[in-house]
């Protein structure tokens, strides 16, 4: 009986690994595109495809959750995790779409820096999520979560510096409106990463 | 025993039908007002009244939820549904209030178009919500949900086109600040409609 | 057995009292600072410390929740309450940080007025939260919740007047961008206070 149940459980981990891999792919593609400074139809379509694939996994996780009686950890935590990882991908897609719609498509050193921090943070979230398979080796998880928190603080400081400079009166208001939203959204990605790290930490606390 | 319970359950459907009818009324009143291009005290007060009546039903649903042991579907789904339908009405009220506060009260072709799509989407949400009484005839629900998703995509494209044009540098910054917020809020209504459709879809999946 | 459980339960009330006290301290410090019209490093650091202490209590509440089998009221309500009180403190901190980053640091009569209403609202939320220890004397709670709702309406009207004036075309766009965000965030604090009041009201309904 137990043996029949265990493989079902392990599938949740497989699905989370797949979902977080799409988030890492989104962050990596975002970083690359932003580095080139141009969001063309091809690179936006590719982000859209990643977002769509990630969405599919999120639906699989929630459908499995609705049909599974025994889950490897609290149902609510599974639900929250998958929604938040989906939010990471959605927000990265949103930013990339804005860069295209607002036609601010040349390399911007602040956005390049944000994209690098986002990429690092999503990779750290990935280590925390992968680590959930084996809650006994918790140091991997806690180290990853500490790093995600650190990067969120880095992002806060970057946002404050960037907005302070952006709003100092030297820039055109339309330019300010566009970039203020993009930078704030970029910082929001790091906030969501921190939310995911909090959920993984709390799962660790409950099971050890 | 079963007979005593069933009428209680059916009341949830009655309440949801009432609540979604207020959302449809809000969307219809919004479309009419926006078409005339002026939000005066009378039309805003009428929207406020609709919002207040919808709020009353939302409270009834949550109170009944807290006092009912057996519910027609998951308690959490009932809670989420009523909160999200309430969010639809609130957001339409918020937009109408902004149009008045920002004194942008003349017919705007983009907002008229958004109001038409919102009206269609909320009506489709209504068909999905009404359909929950009879989960066996699921085609009505799935068709309605497909339509809500389609309209959300239509809204995304409208928002991108509208913001792209609004931020192309030809408009006064204050004008941009006002309309950017209004158009983004309009698109948010369609996002919330899609959230409701997702919940109704997941209820369908669980019960069939 | 019951005696062993009761002290555990009462700890939730102690923790909520502590958490809401930090929210009141944040609102009071915000009001003072805004009255002086300058957010310097010292006053921002002090707000950061309050936010950090409040965060600690929120974590204590959630950890206790995860380890306690019998709780004085619904687990979900405890979770929502602590998250929302944390949101009050976070949002006050965010506003204070923005005032500093945007260098709009001179006394502003609208923000002073908002800070006074926020302070009153958080104090009323405090009376509602303290009142949960003794749900039989419910008048204290209902009076406090009525007051929180009243102040939310006051805040709505203040926001409409302030934004209407701010966006009338007489102000510099960059000035408008900064203050619009600050005033809207200030009104959001009152919205969150109302959310807390709703949760406390619903706890009262369930237990009487």
- Percentage of the residues of chain A whose pLDDT score is greater than 90: 78
pLDDT digit string (tens) for B141-198? 999 999 999 999 999 999 999 999 999 999 999 999 999 999 999 999 999 999 999 9
List the 125-164 stretch of C: residues with Cβ below 8 A of B. 160, 163-164
* Residue range C9-33: mean pLDDT, rounded: 93
Question: What is the predicted pLDDT for the residue at B5?
Answer: 43
A62-71, C79-88, C105-114: least confidently modelled range: A62-71
* Residue range B39-46: mean pLDDT, rounded: 94
Task: State how far residue A169 is from chain C, nearest Cα, in angstroms.
Answer: 7
**CB neighbours of residue B3 within 10 Å:** 6
* Residue range A33-48: mean pLDDT, rounded: 93
Question: What is the predicted pLDDT for the residue at C6?
Answer: 44
Q: Of B163, B173, B205, which is closest to A173 when you measure between CB atoms?
A: B173
pLDDT digit string (tens) for A85-113? 999 999 999 999 999 999 997 899 999 99
Give the A:B interface size as CB pairs under 8 Å: 29
A3 touches chain B (CB under 8 A): no
pLDDT digit string (tens) for C163-183? 999 999 999 999 999 999 999
Whether A164 sits inside 8 A of C102 (CB atoms) is: yes
The alpha carbon torsion through A196, A202, A203, A205 (nearest 10 deg) reads 150
pLDDT digit string (tens) for B134-156? 888 899 999 999 999 999 999 99
Q: Of C160, C169, C206, which is closest to B174 when you measure between CB atoms?
A: C169
Contact B146, B191 (CB under 8 A): no
How far apart are alpha carbons A198 and A145 in whole angstroms? 8
What is the count of structural domains for chain A? 1
* Residue range C54-66: mean pLDDT, rounded: 91
Supply A58's token pair: 């999120």
Residue B3 has pLDDT above 50, yes or no: no
Q: Of A160, A164, A169, which is closest to C174 when you measure between CB atoms?
A: A169
pLDDT band for C135, please (50, 70, 90 cuts): confident
CATH (domain of C198): 1.20.58.220
Which chain A residues are Cβ-neighbours of B202 within 8 angstroms? 62, 66
* Residue range C181-205: mean pLDDT, rounded: 95
C169 touches chain A (CB under 8 A): no
* Residue range A45-53: mean pLDDT, rounded: 97
Question: What is the predicted pLDDT for the residue at A172?
Answer: 96
Angle between helices A109-131 and A2-36 (to 10 degrees): 170
* Residue range B27-49: mean pLDDT, rounded: 94
Whether A97 sits inside 8 A of B160 (CB atoms) is: yes
Q: Give the neighbours of chain C: at least 3 Cβ pairs within 8 Å.
A: A, B
Q: Of C66, C97, C177, which is closest to A167 when you measure between CB atoms?
A: C177
pLDDT digit string (tens) for B64-108? 888 888 888 888 899 999 999 999 999 999 999 999 999 997 899
Whether A205 sits inside 8 A of C66 (CB atoms) is: yes
Which chain B residues are Cβ-neighbours of C177 within 8 angstroms? 177
- For B77-96, b/e burial (b = at least 16 CB within 10 A) is bbbbbbebbbbbbbbbbbbb
Give the B:C interface size as CB pairs under 8 Å: 29
What's the half-sphere exposure (Cβ side, CA atoms, 13 Å) at A59? 11
Contact B54, B89 (CB under 8 A): yes
Question: What is the predicted pLDDT for the residue at A206?
Answer: 82
Question: What is the predicted pLDDT for the residue at A114?
Answer: 98
Q: Residue B101: closest CA among chain C residues belongs to which residue?
A: C164
Q: Of A66, A103, A177, which is closest to B176 when you measure between CB atoms?
A: A177
Supply C95's token pair: 């506003």
Whether B202 sits inside 8 A of A178 (CB atoms) is: no
| Angular region, C103: left φ>0, alpha ψ -120 to 50, beta rest | left
Residue B4 has pLDDT above 60, yes or no: no
pLDDT digit string (tens) for A135-148? 888 999 999 999 99
Question: What is the predicted pLDDT for the residue at A35?
Answer: 94
Question: What is the predicted pLDDT for the residue at B49?
Answer: 98
Domain that holds residue C176: 2-207
Q: Residue B178: closest CA among chain C residues belongs to which residue?
A: C167
Residue A9 has pLDDT above 60, yes or no: no
Residues near A24 by beta carbon (within 8 Å), at least 6 away in sequence: A119, A122, A123, A126
Contact C38, A178 (CB under 8 A): no
Of A186 and C9, more confident: A186
Q: Of B160, B177, B205, which is closest to A63 when you measure between CB atoms?
A: B205
Q: 3-state SS string over C163-207?
A: HHHHCCCCCCHHHHHHHHHHHHHHHHHHHHHHHHHHHHHHHHHHH
How far apart are alpha carbons A159 and A153 in whole angstroms? 10
Question: What is the predicted pLDDT for the residue at A67?
Answer: 82
How far apart are alpha carbons C19 and C85 in whole angstroms? 7
pLDDT band for A10, please (50, 70, 90 cuts): low
Task: State how far residue C15 is from chain A, nearest Cα, in angstroms.
Answer: 19
DSSP for B23-80, written as a single string: HHHHHHHHHHHHHHT---HHHHHHHHHHHHHHHHHHHHHHHHHHH-SS-SS-HHHHHH
Question: What is the predicted pLDDT for the residue at C66?
Answer: 80
Question: What is the predicted pLDDT for the residue at A135?
Answer: 87
**DSSP letter at A137?**
S
Which chain B residues are Cβ-neighbours of A63 within 8 angstroms? 205
Which chain A residues are Cβ-neighbours of B149 within 8 angstroms? none
Whether B202 sits inside 8 A of A101 (CB atoms) is: no
Q: Which of C201, C203, C197 is CA-nearest to residue C74? A: C203
Chain-wide mean pLDDT for chain C? 92
Chain-wide mean pLDDT for chain A? 92
Whether B101 sits inside 8 A of C163 (CB atoms) is: yes
């Amino acid at each position: 009986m137990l043996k029949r149940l265990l493989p079902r459980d392990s599938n949740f981990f497989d699905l989370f690994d797949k979902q977080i891999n799409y988030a890492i792919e989104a962050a990596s593609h975002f970083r690359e595109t932003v580095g080139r400074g141009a969001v063309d139809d091809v690179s936006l379509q590719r982000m859209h495809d990643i977002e769509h694939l990630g969405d599919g996994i999120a639906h699989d996780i929630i459908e499995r959750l609705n049909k599974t009686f025994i889950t490897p950890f609290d149902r609510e935590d599974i639900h929250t995790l998958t929604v938040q990882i989906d939010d990471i991908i959605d927000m990265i897609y949103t930013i990339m779409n804005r860069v295209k719609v607002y036609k601010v498509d040349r390399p911007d050193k602040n956005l390049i820096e944000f994209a690098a921090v986002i990429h690092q943070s999503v990779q750290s979230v990935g280590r925390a999520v992968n680590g959930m398979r084996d809650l006994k080796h918790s140091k991997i998880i806690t180290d990853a979560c500490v790093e995600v928190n650190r990067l969120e603080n880095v992002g806060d400081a970057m946002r404050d510096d960037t907005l302070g400079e952006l709003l100092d009166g030297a820039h055109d208001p339309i330019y300010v409106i566009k970039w203020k939203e993009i930078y704030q959204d970029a910082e929001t990605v790091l906030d969501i990463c921190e939310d995911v790290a909090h959920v993984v930490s709390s799962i660790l606390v409950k099971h050890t």
